[in-house]
Amino acid sequence: MMRQYELVDRVRKYNPQANEELLNRAYVYAMKAHGAQKRASGDPYFTHPLEVAAILTDLKLDDATIVAAVLHDTIEDTASTREEIDQIFGREIGALVEGLTKLKKLDLVSKRAEQAENFRKLLLAIADDVRVLVVKLADRLHNMRTLHFVPPEKRARIAEETLDIYAPLAGRMGMQHMRDELENLAFRNLMPEACAMIEARLSDLRLKNGAIIHKIEEELAGALSARGIVADVKGREKTPYSVWKKMERKSIAFEQLSDIFGFRLIVGTVEDCYRVVGIIHTKWPFVPGRFKDYISTPKQNDYRSLHTTVVGPGRQRVELQVRTADMHDIAENGIAAHALYKDGRANDTDVLSRESRAYRWLRRTIELLAEGDSPEEFLEHTKLELFHDQVFCFTPKGRLIALPRGATPIDFAYAVHTDVGNNAVGAKINGRIAPLLSELQNGDEVEVACAEGQVPPAAWEALVVTGKARSSIRRATRDAVRAQYAGLGRQIVTRAFERAGKPYTDEKLKGALPRLARASIDDVLAAVGRGEMFSGDVVKAVYPDFKDERKAGASANKAEAGWFGLKKAASLVFKVPGAAAPDAAHSIPIRGIGGDLPVSFAPNGGAVPGDRIVGILTPGEGITIYPIQSPALTAFDDQPERWLDVRWDIDDDRKDFFPAQIIVTAINEPGTLGMIASVIGDAGANIDHIEFVSRSPDFRDIVLDLQVLDLKHLNAIISELKAKPVVSKVERVNG
């Protein structure tokens, strides 16, 4: 176990001004707090926070971060409290330790929900101070190094979580060295046989190619030295996990990999980086399409480097990365290499956010994902943001947009602005009209066409790849549905007050919110629209002395609510096109599916303009429209609160289709179905579904779901069908 003076010495080696007294105080406090606690390995528990602190001293982090590492499990696993940590070590360190503490006593159904809620808490703490992330990653790294002491079932879950969340998060923050070790440790625990096989093959390859690698290093260094450039040339080897991942992704064998070995060239200046590439390309032919400039266009994790592949000595393909020493430090250690950690301003997140693309991306992502989603959705969307490689696209004005590989113009639109995504109706890629689901490539210029008032289709959610797009689509469709229900609820409530002879205003309803246990007027209206709250209860909440005669009548005599007594029981009003409708102001206008109200039609038979119709409020589904003659209405005889006053409100110049069902009894012979389909097609109607029922060897019943304009249109089709010699009978179904 690391001694007290050893911890101080490690910090003082890179920070002579370290607060020795603070470090000593933290060491003693944590040792006493953890007391006799043991780890799964049998070692004293206190060894774990010390090893986490040691990892962070290798990254040369500030005193507060080291102290937070020593204390990071005290609130969670001992009797220590946040107040006590604040009092002894200050609020800054207290906030860091609190950010690293899992939520306790979560009243959640599933382990996944608990994991997601703890992850949300961690990321929100990271948004306030990125040092929480650095300590958490070091904590996870030491836990992975000692994972072999953990029971197998728990070991697999921790390793999988590391691959799913923490390794990609380290990569997004530019901490490549930590990401590589986390991935390899997880790989070794999840797939030990595959890992051992790849490690053995890499070892053999290392022995076989050692001389070639040394020769390439010498040739590269010599070629650059002859041009006056001092470069540190180092061979590098792919990690076992990255080798396995590429084999899986491309479905190739180990022998087919051509980039297992590569070389890093560390030079003095940015100008030298570009000079080196020029020298190498004039000495050896480069592989077309393999040059990438991450200096002029850095990755979102602040990675900067020039990449190229050449056909080098011995006709070997050689991958090269050219960068300065500062770029190399950031490439390996990411945000942990940031200068703010070294000059006493480690908690200056505003400065860090301006200077670090990685941290700026993380804070923006957390802000976008934190709005209103469940913990599971938050975890899902964060994974989407973490996993993918990137493509770089441009707006017509030249703004650079970084997106995950596989992104579409829909993802691009949401990356520009949420309103652009919600209103997107089309796109141009490089000046040409393209489908919204096209996969974007590096360098594409994307122009998004928008239309005000659009609502993104719910199906888009399954087609996009960014967390921002997915959560925005889900939120927009949820809001649109809520607005539909609230609109329906307002109409129902307004008419309920009119029937009761009571004046309605939003102010009156606002005063009754506590009695209805709702936070806002929209919540009440949406609940009524969804059928979760009866409109009479709203009237009674505003006017406590109100008595609902419909409910009383239904209780006294259910028979009175049959359809012969329908007008009396439910005060229903119907509007037949061309007929007078004296009570139309009290009924809800129905325009069809896709309007501003949640409307559906009777599941068997539907309803069409010209039918006298009834509206039944179905909880969670809105209004279901039935024709007055539907026998299904008897099921609602004792539920008068669900009956709604509805009427058709169809514009003459609109040609909307409505559902209807007919049964055609026809002779069972070749050509019968074709003749029936021709009649329907010639009439300008559409067949939505067909079902055949054998009546006898000679006759067959054909059940047809049609889409027609109105009752006149439907009756004309029925008349035409009856006139055909192969047709015995035609009946309309009134479900």
Give yes or no: residues 39 and 136 share one domain.
Answer: yes
Q: Rounded to whole angstroms, what are the CA distances from 254 to 11, 188, 192, 200, 384? A: 43, 18, 17, 12, 28
**In the prediction, which pLDDT does 107 show?**
39
555-580 mean pLDDT: 35
At how many degrees (to 10) do helices 63-71 and 82-89 cross?
Answer: 150
Q: Is residue 31 part of a domain?
A: yes
Give yes or no: residues 9 and 142 share one domain.
Answer: yes
Give yes or no: residues 273 and 297 share one domain.
Answer: yes
Give yes or no: residues 548 and 618 share one domain.
Answer: yes
- Say which CATH number the domain at 666 has: 3.30.70.260
Give yes or no: residues 623 and 694 share one domain.
Answer: no
pLDDT tens, 157-174? 899 889 888 888 888 778
What residues have CB less than 8 Å from 493, skipping those under 6 apart? 504, 509, 524, 525, 528, 535, 538, 539
The answer to which of 10-14, 374-378, 414-418, 668-672 has the lowest mean pLDDT is 374-378
Q: Alpha-carbon distance 703 to 689, whole Å?
A: 8
pLDDT tens, 324-366? 999 998 888 877 765 444 444 445 544 444 456 666 666 666 6
- Say which CATH number the domain at 279 has: 3.30.460.10
- Say which CATH number the domain at 21 has: 1.10.3210.10
Q: Is residue 358 part of a domain?
A: no
Highest mean pLDDT range out of 74-83, 594-603, 722-731?
74-83
Backbone angles phi, psi at 318, to 5 degrees: -120, 120
**In the prediction, which pLDDT does 593 show?**
55
Q: Which of 337, 370, 393 is the last residue of a domain?
A: 337
Give yes or no: residues 45 and 163 share one domain.
Answer: yes
Burial class (CB in 10 A: 0-12, 13-18, 19+), 289: exposed
Q: Is residue 46 part of a domain?
A: yes
Q: CA nearest 392: which of 288, 303, 273?
A: 303
Q: Alpha-carbon distance 623 to 600, whole Å?
A: 6
Q: Alpha-carbon distance 182 to 166, whole Å?
A: 8
**Torsion 554-556-558-561 (CA) sign:** negative
Structural domain boundaries enclosing 284: 194-337
Q: Residue 520 in 3-state DSSP? A: coil
Q: Which of 284, 312, 337 is the last residue of a domain?
A: 337
Give yes or no: residues 280 and 324 share one domain.
Answer: yes
Q: Is residue 366 part of a domain?
A: no
- Tell me the two tokens of residue 179: 């990401």
Q: CA nearest 588: which of 656, 683, 491, 720?
A: 491
Backbone angles phi, psi at 621, to 5 degrees: -125, -10
Amino acid of residue 65: T
Give yes or no: residues 606 and 681 share one domain.
Answer: no
Q: Which of 312, 337, 362 is the last residue of a domain?
A: 337
User: Residue 554 pLDDT > 60, yes or no?
Assistant: no
Domain count for the chain: 4
- Tell me the two tokens of residue 576: 């037949």
Q: Is residue 64 part of a domain?
A: yes
* H or E element at residue 626: strand 622-627
Catalytically active residues are 76-77
Q: Alpha-carbon distance 640 to 622, whole Å?
A: 16
At how many degrees (to 10) do helices 47-58 and 131-145 cross?
Answer: 120
**In the prediction, which pLDDT does 571 show?**
34
At how many degrees (to 10) do helices 176-190 and 152-161 cross?
Answer: 150
Give yes or no: residues 312 and 179 share one domain.
Answer: no
* Nearest-10 Cα torsion for 260, 185, 405, 127: -140
Residue-averaged pLDDT of the chain: 80
pLDDT tens, 593-627? 555 567 778 887 888 888 888 888 877 677 888 88
Q: Is residue 390 part of a domain?
A: no
pLDDT tens, 625-647? 888 888 888 888 777 777 877 87
Report whether 218 contacts 207 (CB < 8 A): no
**pTM of model > 0.85:** no
Give yes or no: residues 40 and 70 share one domain.
Answer: yes
Give yes or no: residues 572 and 700 share one domain.
Answer: no
User: Residue 703 pLDDT > 60, yes or no?
Assistant: yes
Band the pLDDT of 433: cuts 50, 70, 90: very high
Q: Is residue 393 part of a domain?
A: no
550-562 mean pLDDT: 40
Q: Is residue 389 part of a domain?
A: no
Tell me which of 319 and 105 has the higher pLDDT.
319
Give yes or no: residues 150 and 267 share one domain.
Answer: no
